[in-house]
Structure 1
Amino acid sequence: MTNFEADVVLPCLDEAGALPWVLERMPHWARPIVVDNGSADGSAQIAASLGATVVSEPRRGFGAAAHAGLLAATADVVAFCDCDASLDPRQLERVVAPVRSGAADLALGRRRPARGAWPAHARVANGALAVLTSRQAGVRLHDLGPLRAARRADLLALDLRDRRFGYPLEMVLSAAAAGWRITECDVDYRPRVGKSKVTGTVRGTVRTVRDMRAVLAR
């Protein structure tokens, strides 16, 4: 059993520079679960020294790390958040509250970017995917961002299979197909700490879009 109101899954690959800021801002009611996905910069050791629960997932892939964190979670509500300091853990309440109160089954953080926080190519790609997802899921969405929350048992019942960058999209589509109530909550989006390995580069954005389009095709 856990005394925390929510577990927060933080997929991590070489985020040593950002982890202290992220973990120091974690709400007292939330347990951070840092899923190390093969970091070479001591991220796992830093996370452990700051009191986080650390899980190792050697199989590379955002979905692999996110799902490993879900399996390690024990709280009734599970949230997912990037650990690159682009999202403020102090705003976790915004996505956890609708799920905890029963007002929603899946709450998604709709990113409101600060200047320089979201490259144009990534924002355009995200918007296009959000439109396609809205049409397929029958739910109007504006963002497919990483900050989100749902109940652990319900997430496990979705039996998500993607282990790459399509994992967040598969979650939304599967939730919609299961008749979940999905809501969006505004959250601030900051420039990340360190070099982006995903949507901060055109190559990373193309790879993410490719994985998500594969999920849409299925």
Structure 2
Amino acid sequence: MADERVNKIIEILKKEYPDVKIALNYSNPLELLIATILSAQCTDRQVNEVTKDLFKKYRTPSDYIRVPQEELEKNIYSTGFYKNKAKNIKRLCEILVENFSGEVPDNMEDLITLPGVARKTANVVLSNAFGKNEGIAVDTHVKRVSARLGMTDNTNPDKIEKDLMKLVPNKDWGVFTLLLIRHGREICTAKKPRCHDCILNKLCPSAFTFG
């Protein structure tokens, strides 16, 4: 019965958010990969502000390799953790050139070998840049909303992903993340979820439990 309930939830969310799409701006897999790395501990809006100029300056992995570390840090400073992010971006671009002919790999196994790329980032890139569903990206919104909906009891993102992959049809893995993020931002917010306005309140075990 759990699968039927989850299918109903997905159906309702698709009708509510028919235009749902990733909030990060990008025009190719490399841009999406870098934007996703920059989005760690940073808002998508701020990342888009930074990448508006960044993607004009650097278009290929070789461009990122050539730029001095300090200059790249200045370019991405406002996204936070800029030293580590710049280091990872430069190193992953070196690996792309050395091992993948300068192209972003289109499979989970290779993507997670890149610095700064764990399953969440890899899932975002695979789903949105390549149209491949190899898993479900679990960010803070997906973690919170899926728990409130009773889809998982776990707190570890990898374990949450495994729980969700058992419940959500493979064809919906990519859009499922986007739907929960949108719903988490607009209705099922962290501090004061709007349960009375929620289209899922009849299917949600947590509905109306928040003061």
TM-score, normalised to structure 2, is 0.25
TM-score (norm 1): 0.25
Higher strand share: 1
Larger Rg: 2
* Higher helix proportion: 2
